[in-house]
Amino acid sequence: MARPTQPALIRLTHWANLVLFAIMAGSGLRILAAHPMLGAVGEEYRWVPFQGTRPPAFLTLGGWLAGARHWHFAFASLFVLNALVYLAYFVASGEWRRRLFFPRRDARNAWETLLHDLRLRRAAPGEHGLYNGMQRLAYTGVLATAPLLVLTGLALFKPVQLPRLTALLGGYDLARALHLGVLVALAAFTVVHVVQVALHPRTLVDMTVGRRARHEGGPT
Ligand code: HEM
Ligand code: HEM
């Protein structure tokens, strides 16, 4: 089945997001390393796994707390700007129609793709257009969770100026745990995503040069 070309703005913002996301995650993990306990001092959360464990140095950026904060705050606006360019194009171009998950259209295909990928079903999933149902589900999940990263980030950045936002997110300490939790979820998505891309290398060509390719399936 011929797939449509990946539009230039989607490709550009996707790869820019990869660089910006890596910078935000690396500097964020260096900030975490300065105090790797979640919850208020003396009332640390018991439910958080790996409490007190410093992230490995090779995953961090900025050298020390102040350096990492400089990186984090300098690149936060670029991260948001890139996301806004993507979103504006996503909505205005109508691309959302073939990229978002709609249960009535995609649920069956998502289920069949999952079973097929797990080798529990022989028959390939039916016709699905640009992305299969599982991809649409995963990408829509990313788009739905990413704003929480920005909102919790803003609550941590200006808790005094934005008291309502901070309160809405359960207070400073919970916002901090959520900020980190979203990063963990997106990092887990990225691992599966990259494995799937490696299994379907033509999609990488499409996402880079945008040309038409003939193939089925794709990464989640
Ligand atoms: C608008 C975007 C963002 C803003 C305003 C923001 C803001 C902040 C602030 C204020 C802190 C606490 C700094 C401190 O206590 O000194 C922080 C920590 C952190 N951020 Fe972000 N952030 C944003 C996006 C991101 C993104 C995209 C990621 C990951 C890809 C990320 C990962 C982290 C991590 C891991 C920490 C350490 C958690 C901690 O120990 O407090 N942030 N961020
Ligand atoms: C080395 C890292 C990465 C590689 C190689 C990669 C590769 C790709 C490729 C090839 C596609 C197109 C899939 C297809 O045509 O079937 C894609 C789509 C997508 N990727 Fe990535 N990606 C990476 C990192 C990330 C990260 C870090 C995120 C977000 C946290 C992300 C989010 C997405 C989303 C949301 C889409 C769908 C975009 C749309 O259609 O609007 N990717 N990626």
Q: Whose CA is nearest to atom 14 of ligand 2?
A: 203
- CA pair distance 113, 90, nearest whole angstrom: 25
Give residue limits of the domains in the chain.
Answer: 72-209
- The preferred substitution site among 14, 137, 194 for testing ligand 2, maximizing ligand atoms within 8 Å of CB, is 14
Instruction: Find the 190 Cα to ligand 2 centroid distance in Å.
Output: 8
φ, ψ at 2 (rounded to 5°): -75, 130
Atom of ligand 1 nearest to the CA of 156: 10
Cα-based angle 130, 135, 138 (whole degrees, multiple of 5): 145
Distance CA 206, CA 217 (A): 13
Q: How many helices (H) and strands (E) does the chain have?
A: 8, 2
What's the rounded Cα separation, in Å, for the pair 205 and 96? 21
Q: Using CA atoms, how far apart are residues 159 and 166, in angstroms rounded to an integer? A: 6
Q: Which atom of ligand 1 is closest in space to residue 183's alpha carbon?
A: 29
- pLDDT tens track of the chain, all 220 residues? 566 789 999 999 999 999 999 999 999 999 999 999 999 999 999 999 999 999 999 999 999 999 999 999 999 999 999 999 999 999 999 999 999 999 999 999 999 999 999 999 998 888 778 899 999 999 999 999 999 999 999 999 999 999 999 999 999 999 999 999 999 999 999 999 999 999 999 999 999 998 754 444 455 5
Say if residues 117 and 132 touch (Cβ distance below 8 Å): no
**Residue minimizing CA distance to atom 15 of ligand 2:** 203
